[in-house]
Amino acid sequence: MTQANESANRIDATFARLSQAGRKGLWPYVTAGYPDLDTTIGLLKALDQAGVAGVELGFPYSDPVADGPVIQTSFSRALASGFRVGEVFERIGAVRGELSMPLLAMVSFSIVHRIGPSTFIERAARSGFDGLIIPDLSLEEAADTARQVTDAGLRLVMLVSPTTSPERRERIAKLSSGFVYYLSVAGITGERDQLPPDLPENVARLRTVSGRPVCVGFGISQPRHVEAVCAVADGAIVGSAIVRRINGCVDRQATGAEIIQDVSDFVAALQAPLT
């Protein structure tokens, strides 16, 4: 695997730029190939133009790891429509030059293992991804994957939950690169009305032990959530709330252009507290 220039990684550059400007970033999540790859590419272009910090692109999988029913629905529909990992890499590679923001692949280790870690990482890097999030990657087995990801010039974003012990948080922080993904709540993804009161303290502790930016996801669905999270963290990750809107569009047989507009409007509202 060819060693890449670490300084070129867009995730690092984005956090450096935001920090210099005294700003925080929004990281939307969308499901790859849902409802089709043309719409996915259109969404990426629209989100890039909207100035989001970066996008997490979820790879559909038949046995979701920590995804609630909203994202599971998008996975099932994408798989039923013939989703293929290779097609995602091909399409991202074809349009990467038109996108300036970082892209992270959120993918089950089962997919990575089936393709082969070295092959998957190489293809992800070649197509223009900047990092990987592998929610079911065992901490005990993560060191080799982290090395391969780093050697490819990518970042491996690891997850920490509120129930993770202090000792494991430090081990995760040492393996994580780019940023640390803190789950605001334990359990599966999904929208919630309130964020946990201990969130600021937990984020501050994690940033201290990790020495890396911390972004918060799970349960963030409203502009006030984004504002509250970004008051203490380096970014907010919004997934289920976005995918729920796409599900609704699909249910009413909206066009790809209508889906892109709906998501763009929602993301603009989410970003409003950050401007």
Is residue 3 classed exposed, middle or buried when 0-12, 13-18 and 19+ CB atoms within 10 A define those classes? Answer: exposed
User: Which of the residues 12, 56, 122, 234 is marked catalytic?
Assistant: 56
What is the C-alpha to C-alpha distance for residues 172 and 168, in angstroms, rounded to an integer?
6
Biggest alpha carbon distance in the chain?
49
Q: Which one, of 249, 218, 241, 219, lies nearest residue 77 by Cα?
A: 249
What is the C-alpha to C-alpha distance for residues 80 and 70, in angstroms, rounded to an integer?
16
Element (H, E) at 223: helix 223-230
Partnered with residue 69 across adjacent β-strands are none
Q: Which one, of 28, 98, 19, lies nearest residue 266 by Cα?
A: 28
Residues whose CB is less than 8 angstroms from the CB of residue 29 and which lie 6 or more positions away in sequence, other chains included: 55, 56, 57, 58, 106, 217, 237, 238, 239, 242, 243
Quick check: is 251 catalytic?
Answer: no
Return the ∠ at Cα 119 (arms to 117 and 123), rounded to 5°: 115
What is the C-alpha to C-alpha distance for residues 220 and 244, in angstroms, rounded to an integer?
13
Q: What is the DSSP letter of 25?
A: E
Instruction: Name the residues annotated as catalytic.
Output: 56, 67
